[in-house]
Amino acid sequence: MNQPLEPMPDDWSRALAVVAHPDDLEYGAAGAIAAWTRAGKTVGYVIVTDGEAGIDGISPDDAAVLRQKEQVASAAIVGVEDVTFLHHPDGIVQYGSDLRRDITRQIRRSRPDILLTATPALTYGLGVGQRILNQADHRAVGIAVLDAARDAANRWIFPELLDEGLEPWGGTTDVYVFGADRPSHAVDVTGTLAVGVESLRTHRVYLDGLGRDFDPEAFLRGFTAHAGTALGVHHAVAFERIRLQGV
């Protein structure tokens, strides 16, 4: 990531972040979310699964409850009160019309100006030979968010949502994707790095369950330093802006 990044526009007031698992937002994006809520913006979370398959030593029923609790607590630390779980099965989320409808429903309810999600790319990482396979749910959810962003504006896609009183919403202008290989914009998180670290630490049972040493502060400091250099600040989180309409 050597190219310069533009500051992310702040001419919006409402964002909806849609990701596959409890903790996906805390590996970087939460620092940006904290900066936005401090500036008076409203951010909601939609978590597609309960993350119930994420802890080897804890049964899915117990893990689902624990991970939802950790996610709600983690969201509160960065100023987010509105957290919705869609309860799709962790690890085997299927891309398709059910997933698109469930996300479209949340977009129409929330009526956000922008959406956030994580990269749906097949792989991510540094260089040739260093690529890491992106998790299956991340791939399915990222694509479904991009598609649902458009579905939300079309009255005749998922007309059953009209019966629920959910009118089309065409006010979302952009989807911001974090973890993308070709980011275009970034958010200065120098002032919110500590809250971002705290929000990641709040996934305590999950992090303990990984069974290896992991230092949230060292991770987030390193992760945000690269984008910081590209934005001209100490720490930043990078996003790729995907526009929903041509201008």
Residues that bind Zn ion (CB under 5 A): 20-21, 24
CB 56 within 8 A of CB 209: yes
Nearer to Zn ion, 21 or 235 (CB): 21
Nearer to Zn ion, 24 or 174 (CB): 24
Q: How far is the CB of 147 from Zn ion (least distance, A)?
A: 19
Q: How far is the CB of 85 from Zn ion (least distance, A)?
A: 14
97: its two tokens: 């019309």
Q: How far is the CB of 198 from Zn ion (least distance, A)?
A: 19
Q: How far is the CB of 105 from Zn ion (least distance, A)?
A: 21
Nearer to Zn ion, 79 or 179 (CB): 179
Taking the CB of residue 132, how many other CB atoms lie within 10 A of it? 9
Taking the CB of residue 65, how many other CB atoms lie within 10 A of it? 12
Of 196, 177, 180, 199, give the one whose Cα is nearest residue 188. Answer: 196
Nearer to Zn ion, 137 or 188 (CB): 137
181: its two tokens: 């290989």
Of all residues in the shown chain, the one whose CB is closest to Zn ion is 21
236: its two tokens: 């930043």
Position 76: which residue type?
Answer: A
